[in-house]
């Protein structure tokens, strides 16, 4: 390397180091400002987490030192906000004894998620942490971890404000004050009423409780028709997407979780509901694009490439199938080069129309607007919409093709094939997700590939087949 090039390289390195130093100083200044602030709340925790992730990118050593300086309670809040792959990383940076203390400071649902995440990365490490947690909390966390990932029990927290139906309201409010002072409950906006044996009766908003006569019992409250309470629950084994739909239908901010006998087990709060909705929407979008949501959230390039490659391989097979269809009409295409020019239009129109139908149908299935029983009505509606668009654009494309190539019958061929392909798009775009749902398969998975195969093959088949019949 010449002296001039060496000097240029060293200058580049110095500039990069100066930039890193500036970025680090800026992040540290923002962190200090937030941490020195007397304001508290979840926003503070989230902002700190975001800045920590930025610091991790520019100065890993300082990032680790900062993490270790946080008190356990605050570190628990910060780690709870972190993505799963960062939580795995944190578990390798901090001693398992301290991680046990941090997990104890978390809400039970967050602690269970944290331990579960570590277990997937390092099962022995997760066991070491659990063994250092007190027996009661350990059993609660183990119980939550034992649930399948897609059921309500996996998302509930057991920290509750409960009261017996014959309990004095004023006494129960004093009990809530004690729980808050001990930091044993957070985000309490409802009291869950049970009988003497712990069976759930209803939930009451605290604003309703406050304006009622506090010298009375909850039984008297329920006897009054002037006030509002709620009996909507989720069974601990209910599919979590069904629970989210129930919360949305009844405009709930929290939903109690009960067992088969009706005993109160825990609650699912609004922050978890929002996270589940976001994760579900993200998962559906990824699935429709043939992408694995879990792989994409990680940092392993091999896993991401493998996940995407699987669907690309399937797409290659379907593309070859479409090419075989085109190959059947090679002589026709050889006689009319204009067919090769117009073929992408037919495929593109069918693909876009099908994607519109598919997206609407999958979304309606996801939010519970339609189900298998409504399938026939949905299919009819989407086919009619596709045919209407097909007729409009068939005329437009037919005229363009005729003017472009000066062949009247060519305009007729592409117009007819456009109508047929949009009909196929509406039919398959609505039936594919409905059929997948019928067989308990996520309709977002693989629908796009199946739809593209149908519109491409039928599109080329109708366009080239009609061309062979009419033009040759």
Q: Which residues of 119-141 are buried (b: 16+ CB within 10 A; e: fewer)?
A: bebeeebbebbbebbeeebbebb
Last residue of a domain, one of 139, 155, 171: 155
Do residues 32 and 148 share a domain? yes
Q: Are residues 60 and 146 in the same domain?
A: yes
Which two tokens mark 310? 């699987």
Domain region containing 166: 162-269
For residue 403, give every residue at least 6 positions away whose Cβ sits within 8 Å of its Cβ, in sequence order, or none.
none
CA distance 177 to 182: 9
Same domain, 343 and 404: yes
Same domain for 39 and 150?
yes
Tens of each residue's pLDDT in the chain, 472 residues: 454 554 454 455 455 566 667 777 787 787 777 777 655 444 678 888 888 888 888 888 888 888 888 889 889 999 998 988 889 888 888 998 999 999 999 989 899 999 998 988 888 989 999 999 989 889 999 999 999 988 999 999 999 999 999 999 999 999 999 988 888 888 888 999 999 999 999 999 998 888 888 899 999 999 886 777 889 999 999 999 889 889 988 888 899 999 999 999 999 998 888 888 877 777 766 666 666 555 555 556 676 677 667 777 877 888 888 889 888 888 888 888 889 899 988 888 988 998 899 888 887 887 677 777 778 888 999 999 999 999 999 999 999 998 998 888 999 999 999 999 999 999 999 999 898 888 877 777 767 888 888 888 998 999 999 998 888 6
CA 332 to chain centre: 48
351 and 425 in contact (C-beta within 8 Å)?
yes
Instruction: Give the separation between CA 262 and CA 257, rounded to whole angstroms.
Output: 9
Domain boundary among 128, 155, 182: 155
Domain count, the chain: 3
Tell whether 278 is covered by a domain: no
Residue 304 near residue 295, CB atoms below 8 Å: yes
Kindly state whether residues 148 and 179 are assigned to the same domain.
Answer: no
Q: For 217, list phi and psi in degrees, rounded to 5.
A: -95, 170
Buried b (16+ CB within 10 A) or exposed e, 309-333: eebeeeeeebeeebeebbeebeebb
Q: Verify that 112 and 252 share a domain, yes or no.
A: no
Examine the fold and report which residue of 254, 269, 284 is the final residue of a domain before the chain moves on. 269
Residue 448: per-residue pLDDT = 81
The answer to whether residue 62 sits within a structural domain is yes
Could you tell me if residue 262 is inside a domain? yes
Q: Identify whether residues 444 and 413 lie together within a single domain.
A: yes
Both 149 and 10 in one domain: the answer is: yes
Q: Is residue 208 part of a domain?
A: yes
276 is a domain residue: no
CB 205 within 8 A of CB 190: yes
Which CATH number fits the domain that encloses residue 8?
A: 1.25.60.10
CB count within 10 Å of CB 14 equals 10
Does 248 reside within a domain? yes
Q: Give the CATH number of the domain where residue 233 resides.
A: 3.10.580.10
Residue 288 is assigned to a structural domain of this protein: no
In this prediction, residue 260 carries a pLDDT of 95
CATH code of the domain containing 308: 1.10.357.20
Do residues 255 and 311 share a domain? no
Contacts of 142-145 with C-beta under 8 Å, sequence gap 24+, read 144/108, 144/109, 144/112, 145/112, 145/115, 145/116, 145/119
Q: Are residues 302 and 392 in the same domain?
A: yes
- Of 255, 260, 293, residue with least CA distance to 272: 255
Contact 195/165 with Cβ under 8 angstroms? yes
Say if 277 falls within a structural domain: no
Do 458 and 322 lie in a common domain? yes
Prediction pTM value: 0.69
Query: 68 and 122 in one domain?
Result: yes
């Amino acid at each position: 390397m010449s002296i001039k090039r060496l000097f240029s390289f060293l200058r580049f390195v110095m500039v990069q180091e100066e930039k890193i130093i500036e970025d680090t100083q800026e992040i540290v200044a923002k962190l200090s400002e937030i941490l020195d602030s007397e304001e508290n709340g979840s926003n503070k925790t989230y902002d700190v987490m975001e800045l920590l992730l930025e610091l991790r990118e520019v100065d890993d050593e300082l990032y680790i030192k900062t993490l270790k300086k946080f008190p356990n309670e605050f570190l628990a809040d910060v780690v709870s906000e972190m993505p799963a792959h960062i939580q795995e990383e944190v578990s390798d940076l901090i001693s398992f004894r301290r991680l046990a203390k941090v997990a104890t400071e978390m809400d039970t649902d967050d602690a269970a998620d944290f331990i579960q995440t570590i277990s997937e990365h390092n099962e022995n490490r997760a066991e070491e942490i659990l063994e250092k947690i007190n027996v009661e909390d350990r059993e609660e966390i183990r119980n939550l971890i034992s649930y399948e990932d897609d059921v309500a029990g996996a998302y509930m927290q057991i920290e509750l404000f409960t009261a017996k139906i014959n309990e004095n309201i004023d006494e129960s409010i004093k009990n809530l004050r004690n729980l808050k002072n001990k930091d044993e409950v957070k985000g309490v906006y409802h009291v869950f009423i049970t009988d003497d044996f712990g069976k759930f009766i209803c939930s009451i908003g605290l604003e309703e409780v406050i304006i009622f006569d506090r010298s009375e019992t909850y039984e008297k409250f329920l006897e009054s028709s002037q006030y509002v309470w709620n009996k909507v629950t989720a069974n601990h084994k209910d599919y979590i997407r069904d629970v989210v739909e129930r919360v949305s239908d009844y405009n709930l901010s929290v939903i109690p979780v009960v067992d088969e006998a009706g005993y109160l087990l825990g609650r699912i709060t609004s922050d978890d509901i929002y996270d589940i909705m976001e994760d579900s929407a993200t998962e559906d979008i990824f699935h429709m694009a043939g992408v694995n949501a879990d792989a994409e959230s990680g940092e392993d390039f091999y896993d991401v490439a493998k996940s995407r490659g699987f669907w690309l391989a399937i797409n290659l097979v379907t593309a070859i199938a479409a090419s075989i269809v085109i190959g059947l009409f090679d002589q026709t295409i050889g006689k009319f080069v204009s067919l090769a020019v117009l073929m992408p239009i037919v495929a593109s129109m069918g693909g876009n129309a099908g994607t519109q139908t598919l997206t609407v149908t999958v979304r309606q299935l996801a939010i519970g607007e339609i189900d298998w029983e409504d399938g026939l009505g949905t299919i009819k509606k989407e086919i009619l919409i596709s045919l209407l668009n097909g007729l409009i654009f068939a005329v437009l494309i037919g005229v363009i093709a005729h003017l472009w190539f000066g062949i009247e019958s060519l305009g007729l061929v592409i117009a007819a094939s456009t109508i047929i392909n949009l009909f196929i798009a509406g039919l398959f775009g609505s039936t594919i997700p409905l059929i997948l749902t019928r067989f308990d398969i996520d309709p977002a998975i693989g629908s796009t590939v199946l739809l593209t195969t149908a519109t491409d093959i039928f599109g080329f088949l109708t366009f080239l087949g009609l061309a062979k019949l009419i033009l040759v």
